[in-house]
Amino acid sequence: MKNTAVTDELIIGDAVSLVNEGMAVTLLVKGRSMLPFIFGGHDSVILTKPENISVGDVVLARIDGRRYVLHRVMEVTPERVVLMGDGNIRGQEVCRPEDVLARTDEIVGEDGRHRRLDTPRQRRLARIWRTLLPVRRWILAVYKRTVLRNIDIQ
């Protein structure tokens, strides 16, 4: 477990350095905290510099100076940024604007197909998804047993 954590830290740290140099870094993501928009273990995200962050953006941020999360922006002020995973039913992260290290507007699926997150349609879906927060638990439960199961079997 320890090795995995160290490796992740190193990989993300290097990815962020490259992003700071102006590169677009494609990185496979883990976890299910961004369902149903990003499939951890299957999708890669393209990370770029976090310019003009606004509500609805998906960003990579460092929380409490240690763990990294790739979550959606819920609130932005000059002092703080509030984040939450689309696939989470509770729990938000709060960080300073400078802790937002990269943004992702584009996903690359396993089949190599690109999907944008910043189209009006995707933004609208994300807003709808946000309003469904009270019932997310049940939607996600059904989703994980159906769609995701098929994906994992493939």
Partner 1 sequence: MKRKEGFVLRTVCGEKVIVGEGLGAIDFGKLISLNDTAAWIWEQAGEQGEFSVDSLAEALCENYEVEAALAHADVEALLKQWKELGIVE
- Contact positions vs partner 1 (CB under 8 A): 7, 10-11, 14-15, 18, 22-28, 44, 46
Q: Which is nearer to partner 1, 27 or 83 (CB)?
A: 27
Minimum separation from the CB atom of position 85 to partner 1 (A): 21
User: What is the DSSP code (8-state) at residue 40?
Assistant: T
The whole-angstrom separation of Cα 144 and Cα 138 is 10
- Report in angstroms how near the CB of residue 107 gets to partner 1 at its nearest: 13
Instruction: Please state, in angstroms and as integers, the Cα–Cα distance from residue 153 to each residue in 29, 144, 145, following that order.
Output: 18, 12, 12
Residue with smaller CB distance to partner 1, 26 or 122: 26
Least separation, in Å, of the C-beta of 46 and partner 1?
8
In degrees, to the nearest 5, what angle opens at C-alpha 81 toward C-alphas 79 and 86? 170
CB of 28 to partner 1, least distance (A): 5
Q: Which is nearer to partner 1, 28 or 147 (CB)?
A: 28
Other CB atoms within 10 A of residue 77 CB: 8
**CB nearer partner 1, residue 43 or residue 55:** 43
Beta carbon nearer to partner 1, 9 or 75: 9
Pairing assessment for the beta strands 67-76 and 93-95 based on DSSP bridges? unpaired
Gap between the Cα atoms of 9 and 124, Å rounded: 33
Min dist CB 136 to partner 1, Å, is 30
